[in-house]
Amino acid sequence: MVGTPINGRTRPSYGVVNGGHDLGPSSAPPSNAGSDYGVIEFTREDVEALLNEKAKRKDRFNYKERCENMMDYIKRLKLCIRWFQDLEITYSLEQEKLKSSLELAQQRCMEIELLLKIKEDELNSIIVEMRRNCTSLQEKLVKEESEKTAAAESLVKEREARLNFERSQNTLQEDLGRAQRDLQSANQKISSLNDMYKRLQDYITSLQQYNGKLHSELSTVETELKRVEKEKAAVVENLTMLKGQLTLSMSSQEEATKQKDALASEVGSLRVELQQVRDERDRQLSQVQTLTTELEKSKDSTEKSCSELNNLTIRTNELEAKCALQDERIKVLQEKLTTAEEKLQVSDMSANETRTEFEGQQKLVHELQRRLEDAEYKVIVGEKLRKELHNTILELKGNIRVFCRVRPLLPDEACSAEGKVISYPTSMEASGRGIELTQSGQKHSFTFDKVFAPDALQEEVFIEISQLVQSALDGYKVCIFAYGQTGSGKTYTMMGRPGHPEEKGLIPRSLEQIFQAKQSQKPQGWKYEMQVSMLEIYNETIRDLLSTNKSSSDGTPTRVENGTPGKQYSIKHDANGNTHVSDLTVVDVQSVKEVAFLLSQAANSRSVGKTQMNEQSSRSHFVFTLRIYGVNESTDQQVQGILNLIDLAGSERLSRSGSTGDRLKETQAINKSLSSLSDVIFALAKKEDHIPFRNSKLTYLLQPCLGGDSKTLMFVNISPDQASAGESLCSLRFASRVNACEIGTPRRHTNGRPIESRLTYF
C-alpha cells in the first residue's frame, strides 16, 4: 500500500495529483508517462483521493464530457501506475547497487583478510628468523661468557698457584737459609770438634809421653830397686860377713845397726814412693782410659756429624734442585699467566664486540617485537573489524549464526582404529570455521561461523558470544540455544560444571557480564531493572521451574513430578513480536548471586534421567529468559532487551539409549519436538509461505527467535566418538541448514514501556 513504511522508514510527500493540485519536486523518480503533469510523487491521501474521486455530473446525458472526464481520470491513473512502476524500478536498482556494494565489501574484507594473513606469515617468518638469530647470539654470548669465566677461573687458579709457588719458594728459601745456617753451625761444630780432636790427640800424645816417662821412671825405680836389692843382698852378705865379725867389734855392730835402721827407713820411704808412683800410674791409666773413651765418643760424634753433614749436603742439593725446578715452573706459569692475560684481553674484546652485537640484535629484536605487537594489534583490529563486518553482513542478511563445538573424548571412549572421526581443515579460509567428519571412509566438510575444538575453554567460547550478549543491554532481542545429541555437552556449554568456577557455562558468564556492564554504565546515567523467568518443556508440557505448585504437610514447597503440573500455561505472541506465557513466575533480580540461586533452584527442579548414553540426561528443553529495561535519566532514552538462553534436550536413538517406560515417552516427545524444529528450519530455508511453528510447543515458543527480529545464535554440540558419527553428521547437516536461514534484520527496541507491561513479555 502506498504511504506505508518501507524497511522501517516513512517516505515524505512532495506533491499530490488530484484535479489541479501542486506538482512535487524533481527528487522523485522520473515518470515515462509523457503527460503534462511532469515529475510528481503520490502519497496515501493522493491515491485515496484519486480512487475515491466521483465524476462530476452536470449533465447526465452529456457523454462527451463524461468521456473526457473519464479519459482524464484514466490518464491520471496511468500516471500513478507508471510512477509506481518507476519507483519499483528505482528500488530494484537501488537493491542491486546495495547488493553489489555488499559484494564489494565482502570481497574487500576477504582481500584484507588475505593481506593480513600474508603480512602475519611474513612477520611470523621474520620473527622466527630473528628468534633463531637471537637464540644463536645468546648461545654465542653464553659460550663466550663461559669461555671468559673459564679463562678467569684458570687465571685465578694460576694466580693462586703462583701465590702458592711463591709461598712454597719463600718457605723453601727459609728452609734453605735454615739449612745453610744449620750447615754453618755444623761446620763450626765440626771445626770445634776437629780442634778438640787435635787437642785430644795432643793431650793423648802428652799422656803417652808422660806414660813413657813414667814407664822410664818406673824402670829406673825398678833398676834402682834391683840395685837396692843387690845392695841389700850385698849388705846381707856383708851382714853375714859382719856376723862373723860381730863378735869382733861392737862398735862396728852398732854402726851396722844404725846403717841398717837408716837403710830400712830409706827402703820404707822408697816403698812409699813406689806406692805413690803406682797410684799415680793407676790414676794416669784411668785418665788414659777415660780419654780413650772420650776419644771414641768424639770419633762417634764426629762420624755422626759427618753423616749429618752429608745428609744436610744432600738435602741442600735437593732443595737447590727443587728451587731451580720451582723457578722453572714459576717462569712457565708466568708465561702461561701472560698468555692467559692476553687471551683474557682478546676475550674481553670479543665479549665487548659480542655484547655490542647482542645489544644491537636486542634492539633489532625489540624493534621487531614492537612491529610484531603493532602487526598483532592490527591483526586483532582487522579480526575485530572482520567480525563486525561479518556480523553486520549476517545482520543484513538476517541469518542465524551457528557455532560448532566438539567435546573431548571420554575415558571410556577409545579412538577408532581407522583414525579420528573429526578433523579440522588448515586452509586460511576455513581455519577456525571449518570441520570435517569422516564416516564409512567418506569425508563430509562443513563451514560455520566458528568451530571450537575439544581443547577450547569455556572462557574462549564465551568471548565469541560476549558482543551478542551485550546487544541485550543495547535493546535487542537475543537468543542463544544449544542443539545436539544427548551426551554431546550442551548442558556443560550452557551451565558449566557446578563447583568449578573456571568451567562456568555461558549462562553464568553472560549474567556476570550484564551485571558488570550495568555497574559500569551507572556513571553515564543508565539505570537498569532486570527480571528472570525459567521454564522447561517436558513431554510437550510447559513447567514453571521457579514456581511452587504444592506445599507439603510442614509447609515447605514441593515440585510436581511425572509431568502433571498444577497450572496450564499458554503461549501467545503479540503484534510487536513479544511472547507471553500465561501465569509464568517472573522474579526481579539485582545481583548475580540472586540469579545463581534461581539457577540452582531451577537445576534441582529440572527433569533429568539416566540412559545408556548419558548418566544424567536432560529430559526437557530448558529456557532461561532475562528481561532488561533500561532508562537514561540524562537523555530520557529507554531500551528494552531480552536475553533467551536455551538448553535443548538431546536427540537420541532408541536403539542406543535403551529407553523404556517413562524414558521412552520422554524420548519420543523430545525427538518429535526436534523433528518439528527441523521442519521449521527446512521451511525457512525454502522460504515457504507457511512455516509450521505450531507443530510443537518448542517451535511455537521459539517463533520470535526463528522468524522475528531477534539476534539468534545456535550452538551445535557434537561427539567425536566413532559410535556417534551418524548422529553427529545429522547434527552438522541440520546446523548447516540453520546457518542458511534468513529470519530478518534485528531491530533495536528503544520505545520504553511501563514496568507493569514488561512483566508479561518473554
Contact 609, 661 (CB under 8 A): no
Contact 633, 639 (CB under 8 A): no
DSSP 103-172: HHHHHHHHHHHHHHHHHHHHHHHHHHHHHHHHHHHHHHHHHHHHHHHHHHHHHHHHHHHHHHHHHHHHHH
**β 450-452/401-406 pair status:** parallel
- What are the strands of the beta sheet with 434-439, ordered from one edge? 422-423, 434-439, 442-447
Give the separation between CA 386 and CA 433, rounded to whole angstroms: 14
- Among residues 677, 649, 390, the alpha carbon closest in space to that of 537 is found at 649
Cell numbers placing 61:
446525458
- Binding-site positions for ATP read 484-491
- Binding-site positions read 484-491
H or E element: which one contains 624?
strand 621-632
- Among residues 307, 52, 298, the alpha carbon closest in space to that of 199 is found at 298
- For residues 196, 197, 200, 201, the Cα torsion angle rounded to the nearest 10 degrees is -150
Residue that the C-alpha cell 682478546 belongs to: 346
Give the separation between CA 483 and CA 698, rounded to whole angstroms: 13
Cell numbers placing 187:
761446620
Helices (H), 480-577: 490-495, 506-520
**β 711-718/477-484 pair status:** parallel
Question: Which residues have C-beta within 8 Å of that of residue 537, sequence separation ≥ 6?
Answer: 543, 620, 621, 623, 673, 697, 698, 701
- Among residues 714, 731, 721, 709, the alpha carbon closest in space to that of 494 is found at 714
H or E element: which one contains 562?
none
Length of the chain: 762
SS3 35: coil
- DSSP-assigned letter for residue 693: G
Give the separation between CA 105 and CA 99, rounded to whole angstroms: 10
Beta bridge partners of 632: 526, 637
H or E element: which one contains 717?
strand 711-718
Which 3-state string (H, E, C) describes 510-537? HHHHHHHHHHHCHHHCEEEEEEEEEEEE
DSSP 207-255: HHHHHHHHHHHHHHHHHHHHHHHHHHHHHHHHHHHHHHHHTT-HHHHHH
The CB density around residue 178, as the number of other CB atoms within 10 Å, is 10
- Among residues 709, 713, 701, the alpha carbon closest in space to that of 673 is found at 701
Contact 211, 284 (CB under 8 A): yes
Contact 32, 82 (CB under 8 A): yes
Give the separation between CA 193 and CA 186, rounded to whole angstroms: 10
Give the separation between CA 248 and CA 373, rounded to whole angstroms: 173
